Structure 1
Amino acid sequence: MGFLDRILLFLFSLTVAFLSFLMATQIFGFNWLSQSFADYSTEILVGAVILFLVSLRFLFFRTGASREPQAIIHKTEHGEVRISTQTLESLADRATRLVRGVSDLKTKVRPSEVGIRLAIRISVDPDLDIPQITSSVQQKVKDYVEATAGVIVENVVVYVNDVAKVQAGKVSTRPRVE
């Protein structure tokens, strides 16, 4: 659904909600309209409730995000190729796991006009050079995604969430309670 369609649907829903509110208030004694509606109060109430519920449905369910998965579209001489953002996230995750010292990660892909932008949240092992690890993650992810998917990676932002804790010879990303 396009931007203009969403605006029109939003305005329609507000109008229907307002009219159903006016109809309901007329039934319950707020005589803003003529008295001729008093004979049909039950039917008007039912109609008002139905219109109000339909407007809520349009407001909250139809204007939400598209249910179709996002994809990057490549046009080739043979047609279109669509690569889902979930696939690109998986590729970025795979490349990130190749970097020694990364113990936990979460990736987010955002399409851009040029290609894609990646945001990667990681936890790193203690006593390692964080700038070197993050630089390595950025380079490996960029190279791997571009080589594998043929998508231009505009930038890779790496957030270091946590430094993993060492407990009895193994690394844990859960913070200790003291």
Structure 2
Amino acid sequence: MIKVLDRLLLFVYSLAIAVAAIVAIAVAGGGFSEEWLKEVVSDFTGGVRVVQISVIGVSVLLLLLSVRFWYVALRRDGNSAPSINQRTEHGDIRISVETVENLALKAASRTRGVKDLRARVRVSEAGLGILIRAFVDGEGSIPAMSEEMQRTVAQQIEEATGIPVAEVSVFIANVTQAPATFKSRVE
């Protein structure tokens, strides 16, 4: 919720600064005559004193927004790396998503016939959703290999982290081409 509010404030702030910059460029470039500007100000506000108060109010608001954005930009976020948090009777445990991805890759690499692997982990209320993208050698049954990989990854992740695995999806991207070996024949 705070991130959405900060984005909205940043949009309003950027819009106000853009309008102020356009007006400043037009005034400095001689786009408006001084008499015309005084007439417009007096027509809308009824006097110079009201304009001063309005300018001070808008300036204070923009200054407060600037301070807020400086704070957001400079604060250290404790959750800088995405992690999975667990609470035990002894305290908190934080496991990075990268750690879970590496465990999934390690488990998937145990499957015979798998060559190049990539893993993505999503955290949901039901548990972890793991996507394995693999290249295979094409020597064995792809459905059997995929099921073995799913079973191995789910078991390994649950045993190592204690976090339930909701699903393991396997995407076989391609079949690797083994370099062809040719025997030279002498006649």
- The reply to whether TM is greater than 0.5 is yes
Q: What is the number of residues matched between the two proteins?
A: 147
TM-score using structure 1 length: 0.71
Contact persistence 2:113–2:139 (CA under 8 A): no
Letter in 2 for 1:9: D
| Alignment partner of 1:34 is 2:41 | yes
Superposed counterparts of 1:1-178, under 5 Å: 3=1, 5-27=2-24, 28-29=26-27, 34=41, 68-168=80-180
Shift of 1:86: 0.9
Task: Work out whether residues 103 and 123 of structure 1, in 8 Å CA contact, stay in contact via their aligned partners in 2.
Answer: yes
What is the DSSP-based 3-state SS (H/G/I as helix, E as strand, rest coil) of the residue aligned with 1:127?
Answer: coil
Q: Runs of 5+ in structure 2 lacking a partner?
A: 43-47, 49-58, 182-187
Give the deviation of 1:9 after TM superposition: 1.6
CA drift of 1:92 comes to 0.6
Using the aligned pairs only, state the percent identity: 29
Residue 7 of structure 1: how far off its partner (Å): 2.4
Cα pair 1:126 1:166 within 8 Å, conserved: no
4+ residue runs of structure 1 moved beyond 3 angstroms? 29-36
Q: Deviations over 1:16-50 (max 9, x none)?
A: 222222222222146586398xxxxxxxxxx9xx9
Deviations 1:67-112 (A, max 9, x none): 7111111211111111111111111111111000000000011111
- Bigger radius of gyration: 2
Give the structure with the higher percent helix. 2
> Structure 1: 5+ residue runs without aligned partners?
37-46, 170-178
CA distance in 2, matches of 1:25, 1:93: 54
Tell me the CA shift for residue 127 of structure 1. 3.0
